Amino acid sequence: MLNIAVLVSGGGTNLQALIDAQNRGEIKNGRITSVISSKDGVYALERAKQNGIPTRVIPRKEYSDIHAYTKAVTEALIEEKADLVVYAGFMTILDGQIVKAFEGRMMNVHPALIPSFCGKGFYGLHVHEAVLASGVKLTGATVHFVTEDCDGGPIIIQKAVNINNDDTPETLQKRVMEQCEWKILPKAVSLFCEGRIKIIGNKTVVE
Ligand code: GAR
């Protein structure tokens, strides 16, 4: 059984999707053993507590620079004996220390079809605003491994949805979450825990 640590910063609906999948027995060979938040008081922490999952808050604002912050998070994950680290709405870009410690064992869910609408500045609702402003007809979500290249690591699963004429950033975010993120994140986590994802260069193969 692998230990899954989930990093959060906000509402935690992706964390909830993981918890629900776990409760349905859909996370094969893994258990969520720890939730770490970059902010105090966020609802994701409540979701973890309601499900008996240990939590830690490592507030980003208490660290002067990203190096010190990454060190604190990396040490916490080592203490938690994490086998897989999942960024689920985690809004801080950590530096290379964590990639070194957990290379090939960290994944992130991004609310767009990478390599479009990703990288620094593309997070949360901003992603959907940019998608709508561009006029593309399809968007979706991506789960990928985390490397030092922000949103640039090997892609594990993607899922697309259509964009409607009357979409707002909020309606699009909701549809991308419901139809894409909440489905592909638990799936990718389970595949990893079953040892079914092979990384070959900047690609993955699911077996
Ligand atoms: C999700 O849409 C997630 O994909 C996005 O933030 C939201 C968090 O929601 N993450 C990013 O934009 C990271 N670049 P949640 O806290 O309800 O899971």
CA distance 139 to 90: 21
Tell me whether residue 97 is exposed, middle or buried, using C-beta atoms within 10 angstroms of its C-beta: 0 to 12, 13 to 18, 19 or more: middle
What are the tens digits of pLDDT across the range 108-123?
999 999 999 999 999 9
How does DSSP classify residue 60?
G
Mean pLDDT across the stretch 45-58?
98
CA–centroid distance, 80 to ligand 1, in Å, is: 23
Q: Is the CB of 98 under 6 A from ligand 1?
A: no
CA distance 89 to 24: 22
pTM of the model: 0.97
What are the tens digits of pLDDT across the range 125-144?
999 999 999 999 999 999 99
Give me 137's structure tokens.
């007809």
6, 13, 14, 139, best to mutate for ligand 1 pocket (most atoms within 8 Å of CB): 14
Order of strands across the sheet that contains 138-145: 55-57, 30-37, 2-8, 84-87, 106-110, 138-145, 155-162
What are the tens digits of pLDDT across the range 170-200?
999 999 999 999 999 999 999 999 999 999 9
Catalytic choice (67, 110, 128, 144)? 110
